[in-house]
Homo-oligomer: A and B are copies of this chain.
Amino acid sequence: MNQQDTDRAATLCWVEIGPRRYPIYIGSGLLSETDLLRRHIPKQQAMIVSNTTVADLYVDKLTEALTDKQCDTVILPDGEQFKNLDTLNQIFDQLLKQKHHRGTVIIAFGGGVIGDMAGFAASCYQRGVPFIQVPTTLLAQVDASVGGKTAVNHALGKNMIGAFHQPLAVIIDTDTLNTLATREFNAGLAEVIKYGLIHDMDFFAWLEGNINKIIAKEAQALQTMIYHCCQIKADIVAADETEQGIRALLNLGHTFGHAFENGLGYGQWLHGEAVAAGMVVAAELSQDLGYIQAEDVARVKQLLQQCQLPIAAPAALSIETCMDLMSVDKKVMDHRLRLVLLKSMGQGFVTDTVDTTAVIKALQTCGLDKEE
């Protein structure tokens, strides 16, 4: 993490997946750089998909950049509980009412929920149209907007209906974080910490050293942090676009986290909050299996706590409920639960050989009880 890295962070990194390679632009004020958006909209139509929160604040900036095109907008309700097929259909309604053709470009303008839904709509509208990610939450900027995973939830499981569909470009204006609610911002930090844990202990240590600047939203610290997250994610996605191998590491904390989110009902805990608690379970399990030490787990918990993130599982859930919800996780294969654990700090690995009793023990350590 030298100065050269930091300068580069202010501009651009690439997701290198052959003919579908695409740029990630990171910087302050990018929403006002109209050419950035326009260069990725070659034809005459665009559809902005946004939510009530973001649209009020920023959507005019985007439409101003596209005044000579047919630029329509669909505003969806804000929140994970609306990430379903019914809301998705509102995007199709609007695309068809406004007669958008195969040459249209969909612009996902909002947080991870908007990115996932707009991206999935793009993947299946007329069997596939291009889209651009313009993420406005920290979570979306460091995670959801990069890598082409799109989806909606099903009542029986999160992200169960979706597609791999890579965007044409990702445009990250760090200024949007200034209006982001603190709870949302902190939830995004859970995914930031994840990158350190699975892939880059230097980055984890840098986060420990700079966490106060980050929480204070100091511009340069944010930019450096986001750049490093995007670079790590871009490298992992380029190596394994459709999650046949290494990409699964990005799911550290997610198998547990999805069960927490789903069990509590979407909208109770934010995704990042659930992932934070899930990472603590994964860390405890990693320690129990002898991979990392108690002081490592303590470091994980401390950094999460500094970000005001939960470090225990939601006590309202029973172990049985969690185990049942995890059994439909996408990472299950032939009835074996696949988990991401820590071989050491900064090195994640995937395993499907962990005993159920060890998983239950870790959930108990993190605050869950068995049913009476």
Q: Which residues of A does B touch, CB under 8 Å?
A: 43-44, 85, 88-89, 92-93, 96-97, 99, 101-103, 120, 123-128, 149, 151, 154, 156-157, 159-164, 242, 327-328, 330, 332-335
CA distance A327 to B96 in the complex (A): 10
Cross-chain contact A333 with B101 (CB below 8 angstroms): yes
For the complex formed by this chain, how many copies does it contain in all? 2
Cross-chain contact B92 with A162 (CB below 8 angstroms): no
Cross-chain contact A160 with B96 (CB below 8 angstroms): yes
Cross-chain contact B92 with A160 (CB below 8 angstroms): yes
- CB nearest neighbor in B for A95: B160
- CB nearest neighbor in B for A156: B96
- CB nearest neighbor in B for A121: B161
Residues of B within 8 A of A327 (CB): 99
Interface of A is mostly: mixed
CB distance from A84 to the nearest CB of B (A): 9
Cross-chain contact B164 with A330 (CB below 8 angstroms): no
> 9 closest Cβ contacts across the A-B interface?
A96-B156, A126-B330, A127-B162, A101-B332, A124-B161, A99-B328, A92-B154, A85-B85, A124-B163
Cross-chain contact B334 with A101 (CB below 8 angstroms): yes
Residues of B within 8 A of A333 (CB): 101-103
- CB nearest neighbor in B for A331: B102
